[in-house]
């Protein structure tokens, strides 16, 4: 192999980092891909190949589109789940409040605090801060419950 052939085989460092421009999908492609996604979240190779030919795309482009769409769906589900838990949390405590207030009048100060605890939570709070607040509340409940149980067994305190 001579020198000229070797130089043609080498890739220059600035050329190696050049990537093809991102391809935007057309509204028609989006419509077809979305309709397939509604039927199956994970199309097999043959379906991807057929779709790619029909839409003038590569199999890999179709595959990546489905991966991205599944990721988007999972993010949306996780967000809805977290939002749902956040908003259902007070109603759970209110049910707990009604059942526990009937059993012991000494716990009324603790069982009324889910409402005040909920008022301390804002949408801007980080999940870890909400957990810390909830842990603090649970700890207070446990301590008050232990005190009230102790008083039942030792009325002289």
Residue 153 pLDDT: 57
> Could you read off the pLDDT of 6-29 as tens digits, one per residue?
555 666 666 667 888 888 999 999
State both tokens at 154: 């030792």
Alpha helix positions (H), 10-157 = 13-16, 27-39, 45-55, 59-103, 108-111, 113-119, 127-153
User: Tens of pLDDT along 78-111?
Assistant: 988 887 655 444 444 444 444 444 444 444 444 4
What 8-state DSSP symbol labels residue 42? S
pLDDT more than 70, % of the chain: 62
Report how far residue 73's alpha carbon sits from residue 83's, in angstroms, rounded to the nearest whole number. 15
Tokens of 156: 């002289």
CB 90 within 8 A of CB 118: yes
Rounded distance, CA 112 to CA 94, Å?
9
Q: What is d(CA 9, CA 12) in angstroms, rounded to the nearest whole number?
A: 10
Q: What is the dihedral of CA 67, 70, 76, 81, to 10 degrees?
A: -130
What CA–CA distance (Å, rounded) separates 48 from 1? 42
Neighbour tally for 144: CB within 10 Å: 17
Enter the pTM of the model: 0.45
Q: What is the CB-side half-sphere exposure of residue 104 using CA atoms within 13 A?
A: 17
Rounded mean pLDDT of the chain?
76
pLDDT higher for 121 or 52?
Answer: 52
Q: What pLDDT shows up at residue 109?
A: 45
Span of 75-84, 128-137, 144-153 with lowest mean pLDDT: 144-153
**Rounded to the nearest 5°, which phi and psi values hold at 131?**
-65, -40
Give the CA radius of gyration of the chain. 30
Kindly list the structural domains of the chain, giving each domain's residue range(s) and its CATH number in brackets, ordered by start: 27-81 (1.10.10.60)
């Amino acid at each position: 192999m001579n020198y000229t052939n070797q130089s043609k085989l080498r890739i220059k460092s600035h050329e190696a980092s050049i990537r093809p421009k991102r391809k935007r999908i057309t509204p028609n492609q989006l419509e077809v891909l979305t309709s397939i996604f509604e039927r199956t979240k994970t199309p097999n190779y043959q379906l991807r190949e057929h779709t790619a030919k029909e839409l003038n795309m590569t199999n890999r482009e179709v595959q990546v589109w489905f991966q991205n769409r599944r990721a988007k769906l999972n993010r949306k589900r996780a967000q809805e789940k977290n939002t749902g838990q956040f908003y259902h949390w007070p109603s759970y405590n209110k049910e707990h409040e009604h059942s526990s207030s009937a059993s012991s009048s000494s716990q009324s100060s603790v069982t009324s605090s889910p409402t005040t605890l909920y008022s301390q939570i804002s949408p801007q709070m980080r999940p870890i801060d909400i957990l810390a607040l909830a842990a603090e509340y649970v700890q207070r409940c446990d301590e008050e419950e232990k005190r009230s149980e102790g008083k039942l067994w030792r009325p002289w305190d």
